Amino acid sequence: MTTDLLPALTAHVRAAAHPNHHTCRCTTATLAAREDAAVVRHAGTVAKAHAPGADAAELALRLTVAARLPGVLLPPLAPTPAELHGRLVTHWPYGTPVDPDDPDAAPWEAAATLLARLHRTPAPTAVPPMRGPAKAAHAVALLRAAPRHPATAAVRHAWAALPPWARGEASAPDTVTALCHGDFHLGQLIRHPARGGPWLLIDVDDLGTGAPAWDLARPAAWYACGLLAPDEWRRFLTAYRAAGGPAVPSEGDPWTVLDVPARALTVQTAARAVTRAVAAGRPLDEVEQSLVDACARMGSVRPAAPSGGAEVP
């Protein structure tokens, strides 16, 4: 991220919140400051600078989908992205995120229901393929480019064992294709209006058509790696099925569909973890090591349809 982007984005969101040059003592806060995204809030307006090289036409199509599905996705404040310091910028109403310090309050049922509704809704406008597999491939590419780490081999071996579609090299073989979020996790939920409104999905960068199982893959991977309690996984899966979600069979073993996407998300998350640890010059923490260990186990367990998920990855 260029050093002048964040101050410029801060000034930009203030102007967007007060187009009539009204001044106030409203809250201004930096919500994210990463290479791939910077997000700043002022009063009730949020401005997001998207990743370098983001496609303006594709992002505009994704904004259109969000605007036309207001009960599922947070609608944008403007229909097209702006440009600032060579980055595309979108504008959104502020909402209350999931509290990371209160895991017992995680809205698993609401999240699953929103995903099921998204997956059941025909895309209201033409959209590109969802970018989930492409993001996983990018994470592995960054790992390859990083200095060698003892965990690199296990992660890359697990990646090589995945089928081409899960590596973003081919279309998914599944007959079920749906409108997908592409990067679902609990950080992609907010309540809007901020106080007591319904939960909505945010972040349309990866929105598109594809295999809906990908949107369930991160919780599935966490469960399989022992990072998500069985009761929370059961709540999530049960609510998704109850809402008619098409990603998994309505009953029986869901892992016939979830196995490969869960493995891919495990590799993606492990690759990012190792890359961050190398950049910071620090050892892997306990959670990061558990992801690498899962990748190592994948080498001895073929992608299949395990019972109950306990053996995956």
Q: Read off the pLDDT band of 307 (50, 70, 90).
A: very low
DSSP string for residues in 182-243? SS-SGGGEEESSTTTPPEEE---TT-EEE-THHHHHHHHHHHHTTSS-HHHHHHHHHHHHHT
Q: Is residue 46 packed enough to be buried (19+ CB in 10 Å), middle (13-18) or exposed (0-12)?
A: buried
Edge-to-edge strands of the sheet including 199-201? 96-97, 189-191, 199-201
Q: Read off the pLDDT band of 306 (50, 70, 90).
A: very low
Architecture of domain 103-298: Alpha-Beta Complex (3.90)
| In the predicted structure, residue 146 carries a pLDDT above the cut 90 | yes
pLDDT for 308: 35
Can you give the residue ranges of every domain in the chain? 5-92, 103-298
| In the predicted structure, residue 252 carries a pLDDT above the cut 80 | yes
pLDDT for 309: 36
Mind listing the pLDDT tens digit for each residue in 14-50?
999 988 766 787 889 999 999 899 999 999 999 999 9
Q: What percent of the chain has pLDDT over 70?
A: 93
Cut 0.95: pTM above it: no
| In the predicted structure, residue 1 carries a pLDDT above the cut 80 | no
Pairing of strands 87-93, 45-49: antiparallel
Architecture of domain 5-92: 2-Layer Sandwich (3.30)
Mind listing the pLDDT tens digit for each residue in 211-226?
999 999 999 999 999 9
Q: What's the number of CA atoms in the CB half-sphere (13 Å) around residue 106?
A: 18
